[in-house]
Amino acid sequence: MKSLLLSVSITASLLLSPLVSAKDITPIQKKQLTEISGLLRDNPELINPLHSNLKQYLDGQKSLETILKTNHDYLYNNPQQPYFGAENPKLTIINFTDYNCPYCKRLESGLVGVIKKYPEIRVVNVLLPFQQRMIPGLKTNTAWYALNVWENDHSKFAEVHRLMMAKPSRHDSSSIMKIAELTKTQKDLTPNQKKMALVEKNEQIFSQLGLRGTPSLIIGNEIIPGFIPQEDLEKMIAKQL
């Protein structure tokens, strides 16, 4: 009975989410709603706990909407956050990412691919140093360094970003120093309070959204935790556009 309740609760929650309007309900979903109604009529003991679960779920959705609304400009219109793609985008993707996260590196190629296919979109990289708080032997981390480059050596950022994402394993002082030397951004290895505060704010929003790991994306009104293949990414982008 517990598994039945969980299945009904999840299905109904997804279908009745405030992010899903009546016009979005497909014929398959209409059939599922009819089946749910029948299950509840045949098992009335499920009604009270299902109602409680639905209310809790919808309250959580409202909370997420509030967090996103409060932090909208910080995420979408903040010149301090690195981005690539369109200057006047029709769609902006928020990408919570970490230069030491292997799945973030896998996602990177997909994001580059969709930008080529959909030049009207923008990807904002919200940088997080979860995998490595401090680079051994240096007084910085990858997020602080990249944010310094974005602000101080903007024309060099794309190459620094590419090189940091290209390394399959975790960065160390040797790899970061080599990237800095190749791009002549050694001065950006010195951290500052402004970048530290920016990364701290990034982490706070990430936590408030209930996210647990990188990569995590926000596409339109959908939050997608974890890696997503380029094919699925393109489908979601096409739907939003």
Q: How far apart are CA 132 and CA 227, in angstroms?
A: 19
pLDDT exceeds 90 at position 95: yes
175-210 pLDDT, tens digit each: 999 999 999 999 999 988 999 999 999 999 999 998
Answer positive or negative: Cα dihedral of 141, 183, 202, 124: negative
Report the candidate in 13, 19, 46 with the shortest Cα–Cα distance to residue 32. 13
Q: Which residues of 108-147 are buried (b: 16+ CB within 10 A; e: fewer)?
A: bebbeebbeebeebbbbbbbbbbbbeebeebebbbbbbbb
Contact criterion met (CB below 8 Å) for 82 and 125: yes
Of 62 and 82, the structure prediction assigns the larger pLDDT to 82
pLDDT of res. 10: 45
pLDDT band with cut points at 50, 70 and 90 for residue 47: confident
pLDDT band with cut points at 50, 70 and 90 for residue 56: low
pLDDT band with cut points at 50, 70 and 90 for residue 4: very low
pLDDT exceeds 90 at position 54: no
pLDDT exceeds 70 at position 219: yes
pTM score of the predicted model = 0.75
Diameter of the chain by CA atoms? Answer: 70
Q: Which CATH code, of 3.40.50.720, 3.50.50.60, 3.40.30.10, 1.20.1250.20, is assigned to 75-240? A: 3.40.30.10
The total of other beta-carbon atoms located within 10 Å of residue 75's CB is 17
pLDDT of res. 62: 61
Name 188's Cβ contacts closer than 8 Å, sequence gap at least 6: 145, 148, 149, 152, 153, 180
Q: How far apart are CA 171 and CA 75, in angstroms?
A: 26
**Secondary structure (3-state) at 121:** strand
pLDDT of res. 8: 47
**Secondary structure (3-state) at 174:** helix
User: What number is the average pLDDT over the span 18-31?
Assistant: 66
Strand pairing class (121-127; 91-97): parallel
pLDDT band with cut points at 50, 70 and 90 for residue 52: low
Q: Please, what is the average pLDDT of the chain?
A: 87
Phi, psi of 132 (to 5 degrees): -160, 100
